[in-house]
Amino acid sequence: MTTSPTDDWLELAVEVHMEAVEPVSELFARYGFNEGVVIEEPYLQERDGDNVRVDTSRPVIIRTFLAAADADPAKLEEIRRGLFHLNQIRPVGELVITGRAEEDWAHTWKAFYQPVRVGRKVVVRPPWRDYEEAPGDVVVILDPGMAFGTGTHPTTRLAMMGLEAAITPGDTVLDVGTGSGVLAIAAAKLGAASVDANDIEPVAVRSARENVGRNDLTVAVRVEEGTAGADGPFPGTYSLVVANIIARVLIELVDGITTAVAPGGTLVLAGIIEGREADVIGAYAARGFTVTDRDQIEDWVGMTLRRAS
pLDDT at 4 over 70: no
Confidence of residue 205 (pLDDT cuts 50, 70, 90): very high
- Please state, in angstroms and rounded to a whole number, the distance separating the CA atoms of residues 211 and 268: 22
Mean pLDDT on 29-43:
89
Domains 9-102 and 147-307 share a fold: no
Confidence of residue 101 (pLDDT cuts 50, 70, 90): confident
Beta bridge partners of 124: 116, 140
Domain boundaries, the chain: 9-102, 147-307
Instruction: Give, in order, the Cα–Cα distances in Å from 27 to each of 18, 84, 99.
Output: 15, 12, 20
pLDDT at 274 over 90: yes
pTM of the predicted structure, to 2 decimals:
0.77
pLDDT in tens, 125-157: 999 999 999 999 999 999 877 667 777 899 999
Give one word for 66, left, alpha or beta, with left for phi > 0 and alpha for psi -120 to 50. Answer: beta
Mean pLDDT on 62-75:
88
- Contacts of residue 192, Cβ cutoff 8 Å, sequence gap at least 6: 167, 170, 171, 172, 173, 219, 240
Count other Cβ atoms within 10 Å, centred on residue 102.
Answer: 11
Confidence of residue 3 (pLDDT cuts 50, 70, 90): low
Confidence of residue 38 (pLDDT cuts 50, 70, 90): very high
Decide if domain 147-307 falls under CATH 3.30.1120.80.
Answer: no
**CATH assignment of 9-102, among 3.30.70.120, 3.40.50.970, 3.30.1360.150, 3.40.190.10:** 3.30.70.120
pLDDT at 258 over 80: yes
User: Which pLDDT score is estimated for 239?
Assistant: 98
Mean pLDDT on 279-287:
98
- Please state, in angstroms and rounded to a whole number, the distance separating the CA atoms of residues 180 and 203: 9
- Judge residue 230's burial from the number of C-beta atoms within 10 Å of its C-beta, 0-12 exposed, 13-18 middle, 19 or more buried: exposed
Confidence of residue 255 (pLDDT cuts 50, 70, 90): very high
Closest CA to 249 of 179, 193, 145, 168: 179
Sheet holding 96-100, edge to edge: 38-40, 60-67, 9-16, 96-100
pLDDT at 42 over 90: no
